[in-house]
């Protein structure tokens, strides 16, 4: 079920306190709420105006073939073709992974967005056009023919699993038809990831596509929805091996100049999916020991974009949305009364407002993908 807007009250969101040691277990929470804290609401039911704005960006790009960035290794001249020739489903939105999550955005908003929205018929028609058996067969052939395993791994492949997870959770006849068509590609992608996970010797601690923590989170969510216990086991084993002893994540070094994912916050968002609540709270003490206890939000400044037409610099608009959902999720994973929650929520609200405001159709460098991040945030998909 979709989490509705939850007004946070009680001792978790505190008034400013006297300086104390960072340990959470011995502190007695104050009863007074920090001024303005009632404004910090978890995302949930997306506003119809936002759903219309975000869906329009996806509708305008999922079948827009150019401009296009084809990132793949060719073995011969005969392998080269147009984007639509190579990727009959996911040829739009500038690159394969953005097309995948553009399609996910439409499925997500059809599932949880306003059911009387005027864009729904167009979205269904475009998804029907994309998810034909013939088109999916072409994607399978392309994936199997030229991919030794690393193409679009892990980011694009994880987003594809998020797409089929959404379809699996949607109790709708049309969703079942689309899922059935996509299952052959889902089978091959999941198999390639299961083969890769045991071979990954180290985590990938980047703020861009290759980051392992973000992909692990999406893959784990899919595994639990799809009932893939082997994938779930592998992700949990790798995550604990990579991250259980991590300490003092250097948030002061973030963001890098082209980040759209926070290495530190994504890791915490992954580990809250894996560790029991009390163990996660203790782990977070060591991993991010400097989270304020006073409910302030200015301890983490949003990323700044100096040129939204630059495809790399605009990544920082995405880091604001992804940080926001990380912060919301981390706050909810902590025990009741944990004094870090107020500061996590305050920073989440600042980042959410900044990230959503940046989503526009002005520059294709951002419009082809930022709405997907904002939809993931504003429909609370990371917690749902």
Note the pLDDT tens digit of each residue in 322-380: 999 999 999 999 999 999 999 999 999 999 999 999 999 999 999 999 999 999 999 99
Domain assignment present for 292: yes
Distance CA 157, CA 167 (A): 16
Read off the pLDDT band of 384 (50, 70, 90). Answer: confident
As for how many domains the chain has, the answer is 1
Domain assignment present for 126: yes
Cβ contacts of residue 81 below 8 Å, gap of 6+? none
Check: pTM over 0.85? Answer yes or no: yes
Domain assignment present for 185: yes
Domain assignment present for 368: yes
Domain assignment present for 93: yes
pLDDT digits 0-9 by tens, 200-237: 999 999 999 999 999 999 999 999 999 999 999 999 99
In the predicted model, what is the mean pLDDT of residues 267-295? 98
Domain assignment present for 233: yes
Cβ contacts of residue 109 below 8 Å, gap of 6+? 46, 51, 54, 55, 117, 123, 375, 379
Distance CA 212, CA 204 (A): 5
Which domain covers residue 254, as residue numbers? 43-73+80-378
Distance CA 215, CA 75 (A): 28
Domain assignment present for 172: yes
Cβ contacts of residue 203 below 8 Å, gap of 6+? 212, 213, 242, 243, 267
Q: Is the pLDDT of residue 18 over 60?
A: no
Domain assignment present for 352: yes
The domain spanning residue 169 has which CATH number?
A: 1.50.10
Cβ contacts of residue 46 below 8 Å, gap of 6+? 109, 112, 113, 114, 375, 378, 379
């Amino acid at each position: 079920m979709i989490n509705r807007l939850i007004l946070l009250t009680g001792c978790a969101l505190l008034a400013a306190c006297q300086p104390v040691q960072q340990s959470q277990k011995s502190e007695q929470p104050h009863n007074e709420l920090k001024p303005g804290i009632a404004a910090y609401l978890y995302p949930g039911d997306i506003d119809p105006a936002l759903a219309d704005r975000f869906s329009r960006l996806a509708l305008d790009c999922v079948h827009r073939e150019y401009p296009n960035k084809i990132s793949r290794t060719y073995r011969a001249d005969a392998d080269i073709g147009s984007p639509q020739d190579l990727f009959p489903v996911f040829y739009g939105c500038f690159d394969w992974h953005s097309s995948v999550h553009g399609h996910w955005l439409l499925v997500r908003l059809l599932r949880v967005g306003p059911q009387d929205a005027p864009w729904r018929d167009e979205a269904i028609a475009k998804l029907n056009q994309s998810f034909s058996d013939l088109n999916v067969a072409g994607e399978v052939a392309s994936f199997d023919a030229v991919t030794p395993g690393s193409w679009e791994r892990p980011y694009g492949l994880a987003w594809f699993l998020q797409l089929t997870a959404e379809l699996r959770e949607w109790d709708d006849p049309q969703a079942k038809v689309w899922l059935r068509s996509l299952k052959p590609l889902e089978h091959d992608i999941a198999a390639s990831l299961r083969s890769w996970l045991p071979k990954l010797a180290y985590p990938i601690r980047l703020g861009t596509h290759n980051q392992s923590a973000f992909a692990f989170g999406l893959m784990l969510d899919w595994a639990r929805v799809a009932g893939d216990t082997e994938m779930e086991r592998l992700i949990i084993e790798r995550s604990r091996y990579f991250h259980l002893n991590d300490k003092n994540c250097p948030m002061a070094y973030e963001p890098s100049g082209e980040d759209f994912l926070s290495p530190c916050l994504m890791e915490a968002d992954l580990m809250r999916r894996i560790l029991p609540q009390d163990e996660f709270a203790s782990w977070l003490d060591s991993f991010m020991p400097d989270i304020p206890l006073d409910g302030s939000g200015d301890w983490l400044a949003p990323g700044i974009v100096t040129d939204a037409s630059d495809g790399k610099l605009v990544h920082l608009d995405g880091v604001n949305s992804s940080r926001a959902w990380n912060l919301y999720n981390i706050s909810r994973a902590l025990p009741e009364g944990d004094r870090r929650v107020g500061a996590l929520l305050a920073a989440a609200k600042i980042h959410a407002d900044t990230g959503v405001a940046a989503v526009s159709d002005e520059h294709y460098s951002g419009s082809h993908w930022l709405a997907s991040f904002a939809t993931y945030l504003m429909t609370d998909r990371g917690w749902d």
